[in-house]
Amino acid sequence: MTDSTGVDSTHFRIAELVQDLHSRRDTDSDTVVAELAEHAAIEIQGAQYAGITLTRNAKHIETPAATHKWPILLDEVQQRHRQGPCLTAAWEEKTVYVADLETEKRFPLYRRDALEATPIRSIMAFQMFIAGETMGALNVYSEEPNAFDTHSREIGLIFAAHSSVAWNTARREDQFKRALASRDTIGQAKGMIMERYSVDAVQAFEVLRKLSQDSNVPLIQIATELVAQAGPSKDNAG
């Protein structure tokens, strides 16, 4: 009965955390993922550290959030050898558990370097679903062997599912804000060209597009530079 109550309480805390992250309109995706890692280390039984691994095509690995240097270093080991529990969880299996690195057989090169470079002995990795071609894993670590159990697995799976939703939402918000900012900058640059050369909006955009094409520089960068260059002259005119 006590165990059931504890699990229910953890579920409730995770739900509250995700609801809070969703309700904060000024929270960017970097903050969201950092908070998720911190809470994973607290909520998943047996965890001392936590980190999130991102990978594209199982080749390039990033660590957007970690509560300690060990998860970052272990992702570097995975990048070097293209093998490891977090990489496997991201692309192949929903959950990967390394009970004791000393006796682990699945990832020999990863095991060797991880034992040499870190005190980590137990790892549990949970698959995350990230928008686009990127896959991810929420990972927890302990310096003790056999640190994780069925309760850790249950809570970790729930946390990873909630984390995927929260982070994807935050990433979409970031993309939307960047798109609005880009549109505004391009609009300002078009306005400057229209005023200076007495052309309409379509012709002004064609000028920007041509500048971008000829210089092999993204259109938003061309627009940003034009707006930035106009700033001082406006100030001086005043």
CATH of the domain at 164: 3.30.450.40
Q: Are residues 58 and 111 in the same domain?
A: yes
Q: Is the pLDDT of residue 238 over 50?
A: no
Q: How many Cα neighbours within 13 Å face the side chain of 76?
A: 10
User: How far apart are alpha carbons 83 and 108 in whole angstroms?
Assistant: 9
Domain count, the chain: 2
Q: Are residues 66 and 156 in the same domain?
A: yes
Q: What is the mean pLDDT of residues 105-134?
A: 90
Q: Are residues 57 and 138 in the same domain?
A: yes
**Contact status, residue 193 vs residue 208, Cβ threshold 8 Å:** yes
**Contact status, residue 86 vs residue 63, Cβ threshold 8 Å:** no
pTM of the model: 0.66
Residue ending a domain, choose from 124, 139, 174? 174
Q: Are residues 61 and 154 in the same domain?
A: yes
Selected residue with higher pLDDT from 29 and 145: 145
Q: Are residues 55 and 97 in the same domain?
A: yes
Take residue 34 and report the two structure tokens written for it.
């950092």
Mean pLDDT is lowest, of 38-52, 76-90, 126-140, 142-156, for: 126-140
Q: At what angle do helices 2-23 and 29-43 cross, to 10 degrees?
A: 170
Domain residues for the domain of 168 are 2-174
Per-residue pLDDT tens for 179-195? Answer: 566 677 788 888 888 88
Q: Are residues 82 and 10 in the same domain?
A: yes
**122-129 and 134-142: which strand pairing?**
antiparallel
Dump the DSSP string for 70-131. Answer: HHHHHHHHHHHHT--HHHHHHHT-SEEEES-GGG--S-HHHHHHHHHH----EEEEEEEE-S
User: How far apart are alpha carbons 98 and 90 in whole angstroms?
Assistant: 15
Q: Are residues 115 and 224 in the same domain?
A: no
Q: Are residues 44 and 140 in the same domain?
A: yes
User: How far apart are alpha carbons 47 and 155 in whole angstroms?
Assistant: 12
**Contact status, residue 149 vs residue 46, Cβ threshold 8 Å:** yes
Q: Is the pLDDT of residue 132 over 70?
A: no
User: How far apart are alpha carbons 6 and 132 in whole angstroms?
Assistant: 36
Take residue 196 and report the two structure tokens written for it.
């200076």
Q: Are residues 44 and 74 in the same domain?
A: yes
User: How far apart are alpha carbons 85 and 173 in whole angstroms?
Assistant: 30
Helix (H) or strand (E) holding 137: strand 134-142
Residue ending a domain, choose from 174, 199, 223? 174
Q: Are residues 162 and 113 in the same domain?
A: yes
Q: Are residues 190 and 167 in the same domain?
A: no
Residue ending a domain, choose from 152, 174, 196? 174
Per-residue pLDDT tens for 92-103? Answer: 888 999 999 999
Per-residue pLDDT tens for 143-164? Answer: 999 999 999 999 898 888 877 7
Q: Is the pLDDT of residue 15 over 70?
A: no
Q: Are residues 120 and 216 in the same domain?
A: no
User: How far apart are alpha carbons 20 and 35 in whole angstroms?
Assistant: 11
